[in-house]
């Protein structure tokens, strides 16, 4: 006959319910972390893109100041003629942090000179994502200001209207 102490002690193991509760809690924590890191990745891409645009825009303005001319219209993903000494050409041709390729436009798409990203053949990010980038450049409106959407698959920093 078991003693009173033996009858009230529990075995040293977890019950199925306790294990399920722990699994559910870990799942919720994992979901929160995935959402948080997903947003961090978007912010990282936006920041890298903005930094690159500012670098290339400053280099283009320096080029224009030294030569008195705007950079030539180049094929998307190609470094414009004469721009090599002002930038790292290898980084330029590898594309943007958002996908797509870098591109200069001269007297096209309604602007005199512009630099930006051309998502040729690939889906561009949502306009809201790009509008957030625009807020960091100027007015948060992709139709006005320095950073604009000049075509369905082109987002450019306008150097001269």
Digit-by-digit pLDDT tens for the chain (161 residues) are: 555 555 566 667 888 888 878 888 888 877 776 766 655 578 888 999 999 999 999 999 999 999 999 999 989 999 999 999 999 999 999 989 998 999 999 999 999 999 999 998 888 888 999 999 999 888 999 999 999 999 999 999 999 98
Sorted by where each begins, the domain ranges of the chain are 15-160
Distance CA 92, CA 84 (A): 10
What pLDDT does 95 receive? 87
What single-letter DSSP state applies at residue 102?
Answer: E
Distance CA 104, CA 117 (A): 9
Distance CA 145, CA 108 (A): 17
Distance CA 71, CA 114 (A): 9
């Amino acid at each position: 006959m078991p003693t009173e102490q033996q009858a009230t002690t529990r075995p040293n193991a977890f019950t199925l319910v306790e294990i399920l509760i722990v699994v559910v809690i870990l799942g919720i924590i994992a979901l929160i972390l995935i959402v948080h890191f997903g947003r961090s990745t978007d912010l990282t891409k936006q920041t890298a893109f903005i930094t690159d645009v500012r670098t290339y825009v400053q280099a283009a303005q320096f080029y224009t100041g030294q030569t008195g001319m705007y950079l030539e219209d180049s094929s998307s993903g190609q470094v414009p003629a004469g721009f090599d000494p002002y930038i790292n050409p290898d980084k330029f041709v590898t594309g943007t942090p958002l996908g797509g390729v870098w591109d200069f436009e001269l007297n096209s798409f309604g602007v005199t000179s512009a630099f930006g990203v051309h998502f040729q053949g690939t889906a561009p990010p949502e306009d809201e994502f790009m509008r957030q980038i625009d807020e960091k450049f100027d007015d948060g409106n992709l139709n006005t200001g320095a950073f604009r959407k000049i075509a369905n698959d082109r987002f450019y920093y306008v150097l001269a209207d």
